[in-house]
Amino acid sequence: MLLKSLIKNIEAKYPLNLAYDWDNVGLLVGDFNSDIKKVLVVLEANERVIDEAIENNIDLIITHHPFIFKKMNKINTSDLKGRLIHKLIKNDIALYSMHTNFDIAFDGLNDYFMELMGFEDCKVLEVTNNEVLYKLAVYVPETHIDKVKNALGKAGAGHIGNYSHCSFTSRGEGNFMPLEGTNPFIGTKGEIECVKEVKIETIVPQKILGGVLSSMINAHPYEEVAYDLYKLENKGNSVGLGRVTKLKEKISLKDLSNSIKEKLNMKHIRVVGSLDTTISKIALVTGSGADMVKKAQRSGCEVIITGDVKYHDAQDAIDMGMCIIDCGHFETEDIFKDVMKRFLDDIHDIEVLKSNIDLNPFKIV
Ligand SMILES: [Zn+2]
C-alpha cells in the first residue's frame, strides 16, 4: 500500500497534533508515494536495526523514539546520524516516528501497559488536550431518515458518554430549484421544489469527522447534500500523559512490584518506599516520569510506576510519603513493538515484523 495511505490510517488513531511542541514525530525519512509491503516496528532505530531492516527487505521502520530529534545542519556520511539517514535512503527504507502522541493517545503505550498489567478503568494523569467536537446538522427527505441516521451512527457520530447513535430530529420543508446540468433525485429543472424534510443533528469528534461526512454523503439520496458543521465549545474526552487507576483490591507494594516484574519478564526491579505499604491507587508514566511524582500524589495515588528515576527523585519521594516502582525506561517502552504490531496487523496488504535487536543499553551482571 502507498505510504501516505498507511500514514493516514496510523494518524487517524494516533494524531500528530497530540504530541508535545518540542517533539519530532511523523514521517522523518521517506517518500509519501512509496509502496510499502514490509514494516519493522521497534523502540528506536540505530545502525543494527537499520541493518536488520535491510536484511529483511523492510520498506518502512516505525519507531517510538524520534529517529531525528536535534536540529541537523548537514546530512553526510562523516556524522553518525547523517550516515544512517544516507543508508536508509540508499536502501529505499522510510522511517516514521510516533512518540508523545503515542504516549498520550487512547490505546497507545500507557494504555497498553495498563492493559498488560490487568488494570482497568484508567484515567489520564495529566490532561494535555480535550477532543474537539463538532455539531453536524443534515437535511434529509423523509424517505431516507433511517438510512442516514444509521450511517451516521455506524461511522461513530452521536457518542455521548456510554450512549451511541444520539441525534435529534426536527421536521420542516426544504426548498430548492434544480438548475441546468443537475440530475435531481426529487424535482424538475427550472422549477422551485418544496419537499418535506427532516433535520438530523448529531455530535462528531474531530478525529472521525472525515469518515462521518463521507458515510453521510454516501447514504444521502441527494446530488448535493445540504449540511451545517459547527465547532463546539463543549469539551470532548480528555487526553494526556500518564494514567491512573483505582485498584479493585488493595495490594502491598511488594506484591505489586513482583506482579509487574513477572509481567514484564524482568529479573530485578527497583522499588522506592516501604514494601508493606498498602496500595489502592496507582499512577503510570512510561519512559521517564520521575517529574510526575507530585502530580501522582495529588491524584490520590500511593505509587507511581515509571523509569529513569534518579537518586534525589527517590529521596524526595520518601520524604513525601510516595512510593515509586522504577521498571526502567527501556522496559516500560519496549512493548511499543507489541502494541504497534497488534494495531498494524489489522491493516491488510502489509507484513509487520517486530525487531529482534536487543536495544537495552544496560546489562545487569
Ligand atoms: Zn522513551
- Same domain assignment for residues 123 and 136: no
- Mean pLDDT across 117-141: 93
Q: How would you classify residue 273: left for phi > 0, otherwise alpha for psi between -120 and 50, otherwise beta?
A: left
- Same domain assignment for residues 216 and 280: no
Q: Is the pLDDT score of 284 beyond 90?
A: yes
pLDDT of residue 159: 92
Give the chain's domain count: 3
Which residue segment(s) compose the domain that 195 sits in? 132-231
**Residue 356 located in a structural domain:** no
The model's confidence at residue 82, banded by pLDDT at 50, 70 and 90, is very high
The model's confidence at residue 364, banded by pLDDT at 50, 70 and 90, is confident
Q: How far is the CA of 42 from the centre of ligand 1 (A)?
A: 12
- Same domain assignment for residues 285 and 162: no
How is residue 304 written as a grid cell?
A: 507511581
Q: How far is the CA of 103 from the centre of ligand 1 (A)?
A: 9
- Same domain assignment for residues 205 and 148: yes
pLDDT of residue 348: 83
**Residue 363 located in a structural domain:** no
Q: How far is the CA of 333 from the centre of ligand 1 (A)?
A: 6
pLDDT of residue 365: 87
- Same domain assignment for residues 36 and 89: yes
**Residue 355 located in a structural domain:** no
Measured from the Cβ of residue 125, the count of other Cβ atoms closer than 10 Å reads 22
How would DSSP label each residue in 261-288? HHHTT-S--EEES-TT-EEEEEEEEEEE
Q: How far is the CA of 130 from the centre of ligand 1 (A)?
A: 24
**Residue 337 located in a structural domain:** no
- Same domain assignment for residues 137 and 223: yes
How would DSSP label each residue in 288-342? E-GGGHHHHHHTT-SEEEEE---HHHHHHHHHHT-EEEE--HHHHHTTHHHHHHH
Of the residues 231, 263, 286, which one is the last residue of a structural domain?
A: 231
- Same domain assignment for residues 80 and 119: no
**Residue 324 located in a structural domain:** yes
Nearest to 109 by CA among 194, 163, 30, 41: 41
- The fraction of the chain above a pLDDT of 90, given in percent, is 86
Query: DSSP state, 157?
Result: -
Any binding-site annotation on 201?
Answer: no
- Same domain assignment for residues 142 and 175: yes
- Same domain assignment for residues 124 and 61: no
pLDDT tens sequence across 30-48: 999 999 999 999 999 999 9
Residue linked to cell 485498584: 247
- Same domain assignment for residues 248 and 292: yes
> CATH code at 203?
3.30.70.120
Any binding-site annotation on 103?
Answer: yes
Q: How far is the CA of 287 from the centre of ligand 1 (A)?
A: 4
Q: How far is the CA of 237 from the centre of ligand 1 (A)?
A: 25
Any binding-site annotation on 329?
Answer: yes
Alpha helices in the chain (DSSP H): 3-13, 47-55, 80-90, 100-104, 109-117, 145-154, 209-219, 253-263, 293-298, 311-320, 329-333, 336-344
Q: How far is the CA of 329 from the centre of ligand 1 (A)?
A: 6
- Mean pLDDT across 294-304: 97
pLDDT of residue 253: 97
Q: How far is the CA of 163 from the centre of ligand 1 (A)?
A: 36
Question: What is the average pLDDT score of the chain?
Answer: 94
Q: Is the pLDDT score of 131 beyond 90?
A: no
> CATH code at 319?
3.40.1390.30
**Residue 190 located in a structural domain:** yes
Q: Is the pLDDT score of 245 beyond 90?
A: yes
The model's confidence at residue 96, banded by pLDDT at 50, 70 and 90, is very high
Report which residue type is found at 293.
Answer: V
Q: How far is the CA of 127 from the centre of ligand 1 (A)?
A: 19
Q: How far is the CA of 332 from the centre of ligand 1 (A)?
A: 8
Residue linked to cell 458515510: 215
- Residue 41, classified by CB atoms within 10 Å of its CB into exposed (0-12), middle (13-18) or buried (19+), is buried
**Residue 351 located in a structural domain:** no
Length of the chain as a residue count: 365
- Mean pLDDT across 210-225: 94
Cβ atoms of residues 207 and 131 within 8 Å: yes
Measured from the Cβ of residue 343, the count of other Cβ atoms closer than 10 Å reads 19
137 Cβ contact list (under 8 Å, min separation 6): 199, 200, 201, 227, 228, 229, 230
Name which of 206-210, 280-284, 294-298 the model is least confident about.
206-210
**Residue 44 located in a structural domain:** yes
Any binding-site annotation on 65?
Answer: yes
Of the residues 202, 231, 260, which one is the last residue of a structural domain?
A: 231
Any binding-site annotation on 120?
Answer: no
pLDDT of residue 233: 93
pLDDT tens sequence across 196-209: 999 999 999 987 89
Q: How far is the CA of 284 from the centre of ligand 1 (A)?
A: 14
